[in-house]
Structures are given as C-alpha cells and as structure tokens.
Chain A
Amino acid sequence: DAKTTQPPSMDCAEGRAANLPCNHSTISGNEYVYWYRQIHSQGPQYIIHGLKNNETNEMASLIITEDRKSSTLILPHATLRDTAVYYCIPRGQGAQKLVFGQGTRLTINP
C-alpha cells in the first residue's frame, strides 16, 4: 500500500475554501486516491475519489497533480460541520480494504 503524508492539523475560517494537501509519492499506477472524513465519534464518511483527472461532486473537489504524487481536497465553502479528521487513502481498483493513515484534523472556526 502506498504511504501518505498529510499535515496533522489545519484551521480554516467559516465560509472560506479549505484546501487539504496529501502527498502520496509512492502511489501505483492503478491506485485511486480516496478521501474520507471522520467527524468526532462517528464512522468515516466517503467524500470523493479520483485516478488522475480532477473530480468534483456536491461535497468537494479533488485536484490530482499530473505526476499523481500529490493531491488536494478542496471544500469550497467550509462550514462548522466540516470540522473533522480528513483521510487521504490510495486504493487499487477492486482492492478490498482501506488502510487509514493519521489524517488531517481540520478545524473550521467561526
């Protein structure tokens, strides 16, 4: 499994865009980049995933660098409810399990 590096914590003002970086320099060619978040005392919640193209859904946007060694999750208009730990996880297509790293604790401040 590819290893990831994420900043342990970040702060963002409510209403601003939150940009969460992830380094995955050892990612394999067939591995997608998945993002999950975990709000305190809840199970992880799927956010978005991508292979090499940028992706957008109703929750967030995912920007993947051309060399695929890093990516950025963007929450365009952060709210207080976006306060959570965000995990970036490389995972091969058809791969069974998700292996969690330490993630980034994002705090949205009023």
Chain B
Amino acid sequence: GAVVSQHPSWVICKSGTSVKIECRSLDFQATTMFWYRQFPKQSLMLMATSNEGSKATYEQGVEKDKFLINHASLTLSTLTVTSAHPEDSSFYICSARHREPGELFFGEGSRLTVL
C-alpha cells in the first residue's frame, strides 16, 4: 500500500515555542492531505483539510492562526503549532488522499508534548 510518513514521530517543546510537523506521501502524489488530532482515549478529530497550492480549510472550532498548515507540493504538507501550550499536547496524525483511486492513507502520527 501507499506510504505516508510523518516527522518527527515525537517532540517535546517548551511552552510558547512553535513546532512544525511534516507529512510526506512517499510513493504517490497527494492533492489533498488531512490533519487530525487525538487526545488520550479519544477518537481522531479532523482539524483541517489542505489542498496543494491553496489555503487550508479548517473545521469549526480549530484556530487557523494557531495551527498553520502549508501544502507546498504534491508530496508534502506541514502543520505548525504556534505558541504551543500544554493543552496543545496531543497525537497529531496526517492523512493523504491518493489521486487514484482516491483512497486515504495515514501517517504514523506525531506525539507533541508541551512542557
């Protein structure tokens, strides 16, 4: 199956700093990528949809100025958590939509801990 890679797989940062998470589709082109957040013992919550070359579409309640998403190429999308606070600590997961046949593949996830 298609491979989606996230980096870093885990990161610890101080409160107030910004953290960037990368999502790459390794062997296919993804015109659309999705970012999810998952808190312990909860389900995945969709944060935003990012389309290559255009602005991301954020789900209701997700602050677009806090969670900056850039989808600069067909194989790379980045999520930047700006001015991170302890409540932003979570498991962040990306998904990439394969052009054909349109199936979604998920990355391994990135665990963010904000001290």
Interface residues of A (CB under 8 A from B): 36, 38, 41-46, 87, 93-94, 96-103
For A99, the chain B residues whose CB sits under 8 A away are 46
User: How many A-B residue contacts, CB cutoff 8 Å?
Assistant: 48
CA A43 to CA B43, docked complex, whole Å: 11
* Category for how many chain B residues contact A: 20 to 34
- Compute how far the CA of A42 lies from the CA of B34 in the bound complex, rounded to whole angstroms: 16
Given contacts A38-B44, A100-B43, 17 further A-B contacts (CB under 8 A): A36-B106, A41-B91, A43-B6, A43-B95, A44-B44, A44-B93, A44-B95, A44-B106, A45-B106, A46-B1, A46-B106, A87-B43, A96-B32, A97-B46, A99-B46, A100-B45, A103-B43
- Bound together, the chains give a CA A22 to CA B112 distance in angstroms of 32
CB–CB B95/A98 < 8 A: yes
Q: For residue A38, which residues in chain B have a CB less than 8 angstroms away from its CB?
A: 44
Structural contact, A41 and B104, CB atoms closer than 8 A: no
Q: Check B16 for interface membership: any CB of A closer than 8 A.
A: no
Nearest CB in chain B: distance from A38 CB, A: 8
How many whole Å from B93's CB to the nearest CB in chain A?
Answer: 5
Residues of B within 8 A of A100 (CB): 36, 43-46
Neighbour of B49 across the interface among A46, A87, A94, A97, CB < 8 A? A97
Known: A41-B111, A101-B43, A103-B43. A94 touches B106 (CB 8 A): no
Most buried by B among A38, A44, A87: A44
